[in-house]
A and B are shown apart, each in its own frame.
Chain A
């Protein structure tokens, strides 16, 4: 088989895969029309649920725009009297919020990248090779998911002290990426298993080494799964709190946003408006990203399990 043909096969496969994904995600609702009464009932239930779900979110907005003298007023009104954007201005330009966000972003991107590379290569070994201790290792990786995070806090902190990694990002990046690896390996292995090995074999007959076949054939085909794993690791590290508190909580200039935001609470009195405004600023980009990708996240989650 020439490499042209392989390329062609790859294209066809990729097209098919993308179509499958898109079809699954945008397929119209399956059931036929309901009677008007039934539809009204469904709308009513959905509206009530939506109100309950969205209510606390709306409250945050109204707290953020409340003027300072009106903060502790027990009220349920959504747009308070004398609404003001002062709190947003204050947290953006008069506190370190932007620095905290940059810190988080840098740590999170580094973590997600390292975790993805480590998981992508190991998952290949688990998916394409049989070796002694393989299922035992898979079981061990699965069992790590049962370990309460608190259980690791003390020993990991002591290791970090001994290696001089406290109050640096090194320790945090290593801790985050390694804790993300077992789950990522499971998801990626599940995905690799669904890609037929024929394509890589064809590439190897054409003279690729096995590693080239992995890099040039399997990895491009697994792009959706890789993206999902990257996002998973990104989101997990983005709002992580306990490890960050242990490892960098004492160094003011290293704080990630969850630690930073807590500063608004720790003085004599919580600055509700600041806290709310900062929460909104931190959440909005993530929420937009999330609403767009949530379906893909779920398809990645179920891949490993549903398959069998």
Chain B
């Protein structure tokens, strides 16, 4: 039953939040204005005033949590040791971040990192290296299909074709539907008895598959779902790139007697590169760190078909090993960081952004 009062309460609740935010920002800006403009007469006053809210926000929601997390990663904080850790083994009794429980020494140095990298089963069943390998397979296979199918569909849709708009609209659906919902749908369709996937396989005479309880098949199901989800994005991005390629190149190539395969390889591919290089980088971030797909297809049941980020979620929220999870998170972050640095150096994907 729709409850008008409740809706009004939601509105005022968010309204209050906004008013508090605006007031806080206003106070901060006035203080900064008085200091920078009236007192110091700083020529750099405007950029500082403009950046201030973002800086404060990022400090509270990225810098502080990450520093906290780094500190926790050197402790054995967990449900049994649920106390606010001191900084690097020091205690900070009497600070605003007072202990949540009894104060005791939970600082264990690099032990968490050693546990992770020595590869022993740090979750209940799977170790770091298995998760790492599975994450690489997951990312590479997903990106491969996103890219090839996306480009293939875009090239077909870029031709003079009846029903082009209709195809495009329908093919975009997986991207348009909120992922949360598509994942619930796919989870049901992978059901052994009632799911559509097994029924369709049955039509072709293939025996039903245990999509949800067999680790390898579960992993395959995750990949299938994510391919379904991710292709439209690459398709639309490629279509945009294709439409910005001038027709003249193709005409010139045709006059020179180039076949369509040749002109695809020497015109389309190089001119799509500047569009696809950043898109692939973004795709890698979204796939590598994708927790929604594995989490909902797996329903957090099979530990053996986890990838790194679901392992991380499991360590933090199922086993409540906060110290260990923090160290794990930094290892995951470091892997992605190393990849990104390598990728950006090789492809100059971010060229121009720093000018």
Which A residues are within 8 Å of any B CB, using their own CB? 24, 27-34, 39, 42-43, 45-46, 49-50, 52-57, 59-60, 63, 72-76, 93-96, 98-99, 102-103, 106-107, 109-110, 113-114, 118-119, 121-122, 124-125, 128-129, 131, 135, 138, 140-156, 158-159, 162, 168-170, 173-175, 177-179, 181-182, 185-186, 189-190, 193, 210-211, 238-239, 241-242, 253-254, 258, 261, 265, 272, 275, 279, 282-283, 286-287, 290-291, 294-295, 298-299, 301-302, 304-308
**Would you call A148 and B312 a contact (CB within 8 A)?**
yes
Residues A282 and B17 in contact in the complex (CB < 8 Å), given A59-B189, A174-B57, A182-B58: no
CB distance from A306 to the nearest CB of B (A): 5
Q: Closest chain A residue to B299 by CB distance? A: A265
21 contacts between A and B (CB under 8 A): A30-B242, A96-B1, A118-B57, A128-B47, A140-B58, A148-B291, A148-B312, A150-B313, A150-B316, A155-B66, A162-B97, A170-B13, A253-B9, A254-B10, A261-B184, A265-B184, A275-B184, A302-B240, A304-B353, A305-B349, A308-B350
**Would you call A151 and B47 a contact (CB within 8 A)?**
no
CB distance from A225 to the nearest CB of B (A): 15
CB distance from B342 to the nearest CB of A (A): 13
CB neighbours of B180 from chain A (8 A):
239, 241, 258, 261
Q: Which of B169, B228, B245 contacts A30 (CB 8 A)?
A: B245
CB neighbours of A261 from chain B (8 A):
180-181, 184
CB distance from B50 to the nearest CB of A (A): 4
**Would you call A149 and B289 a contact (CB within 8 A)?**
yes
In chain B, positions 115-157 with a C-beta closer than 8 Å to chain A are: 149, 153, 156-157
**Would you call B340 and A153 a contact (CB within 8 A)?**
no
CB neighbours of A74 from chain B (8 A):
193-194, 199
Q: How far is the CA of A293 from the CA of B28 in the complex (A)?
A: 37
How would residues 272 to 292 of chain B score, 1 for a CB under 8 Å from any chain A CB and 0 otherwise?
001101110110010001011
CB neighbours of B11 from chain A (8 A):
102, 106
CB neighbours of B170 from chain A (8 A):
50, 53-54
**Would you call B196 and A122 a contact (CB within 8 A)?**
no
Number of B interface residues at 8 Å Cβ cutoff, please give it. 118
Residues A298 and B237 in contact in the complex (CB < 8 Å), given A59-B196, A114-B21, A146-B333: yes
Q: Which of B1, B160, B172, B353 contacts A305 (CB 8 A)?
A: B353
> Does B336 lie at the interface of the complex (its beta carbon under 8 Å from any beta carbon of A)?
yes
Q: How far is the CA of A155 from the CA of B158 in the complex (A)?
A: 47
**Would you call A28 and B178 a contact (CB within 8 A)?**
no
**Would you call B21 and A125 a contact (CB within 8 A)?**
no
CB neighbours of A159 from chain B (8 A):
60, 64-65
Q: How far is the CA of A148 from the CA of B349 in the complex (A)?
A: 21
**Would you call B189 and A170 a contact (CB within 8 A)?**
no
**Would you call B350 and A110 a contact (CB within 8 A)?**
no
> Does B102 lie at the interface of the complex (its beta carbon under 8 Å from any beta carbon of A)?
no
> Does B159 lie at the interface of the complex (its beta carbon under 8 Å from any beta carbon of A)?
yes
In chain B, positions 214-249 with a C-beta closer than 8 Å to chain A are: 228, 231-233, 236-237, 240-245, 247
**Would you call B47 and A131 a contact (CB within 8 A)?**
yes
Q: Closest chain A residue to B344 by CB distance? A: A142
**Would you call A177 and B57 a contact (CB within 8 A)?**
yes
Residues A42 and B156 in contact in the complex (CB < 8 Å), given A169-B17, A174-B21: yes
Q: Which of A148, A175, A294 contacts B333 (CB 8 A)?
A: A148
CB distance from B187 to the nearest CB of A (A): 10
Q: How far is the CA of A46 from the CA of B184 in the complex (A)?
A: 26
**Would you call B240 and A290 a contact (CB within 8 A)?**
no
**Would you call B53 and A118 a contact (CB within 8 A)?**
yes
Given A98-B7, A193-B355, A275-B184, list of 12 further CB < 8 A pairs?
Answer: A31-B250, A42-B156, A50-B170, A73-B194, A125-B51, A131-B47, A135-B354, A144-B58, A179-B61, A282-B178, A294-B176, A301-B279
Residues A118 and B350 in contact in the complex (CB < 8 Å), given A153-B316, A241-B292: no
Smallest CB-CB A-B distances: 8 pairs: A308-B352, A305-B278, A155-B65, A290-B176, A308-B351, A125-B47, A239-B178, A151-B329
In chain B, positions 173-190 with a C-beta closer than 8 Å to chain A are: 173-182, 184-186, 188-189
> Does B36 lie at the interface of the complex (its beta carbon under 8 Å from any beta carbon of A)?
no
> Does B200 lie at the interface of the complex (its beta carbon under 8 Å from any beta carbon of A)?
yes
Q: How far is the CA of A155 from the CA of B60 in the complex (A)?
A: 10
B53, B61, B203 — most chain A CB neighbours (10 Å): B61
Residues A185 and B316 in contact in the complex (CB < 8 Å), given A50-B171, A148-B291: no
